[in-house]
Amino acid sequence: MDELLQAINTSQTQKKKIHTVNIQGNEIEVSLEKKLEIQRAGEEAFMLDTGEIVRKPVVKKSRKLPMLKKSKIGCHFYNSDPFWVERITEEGYAWQIESE
């Protein structure tokens, strides 16, 4: 009976769980917390930097918005209100995007 209990105890020993992630084609062993963070954001949001896993920098895109400028043909406004166009004639204002 003792041999049976010993066999059960040895078979039930817990193996240490290995957590791995795939970053840039490399399979890397990480902690559970780091694996959960990578799973939440996605593996493509991380990169390898000198052997460490770091987040990729976020590239902010600049937007060019139109500005109200004088033009050859444009709008004339009622009481200088840019949302109330009175007429469209020569030497008025128009919404234009500045070119670089």
What count of other Cβ atoms lies within 10 Å of the Cβ of residue 94?
15
Q: Is the pLDDT of residue 61 over 70?
A: yes
Report the predicted TM-score, pTM, of the whole model to 2 decimal places.
0.49
First to last CA, the chain: 87
Quick: pLDDT tens for 16-41: 788 999 988 889 899 999 999 999 99
pLDDT at residue 3 in the model: 79
Rounded CA separation 21/91 (Å): 63
Task: Name the pLDDT band for 11 (thresholds 50, 70, 90).
Answer: low
* CA nearest to 34, candidates 43, 68, 26, 80: 43
pLDDT at residue 14 in the model: 60
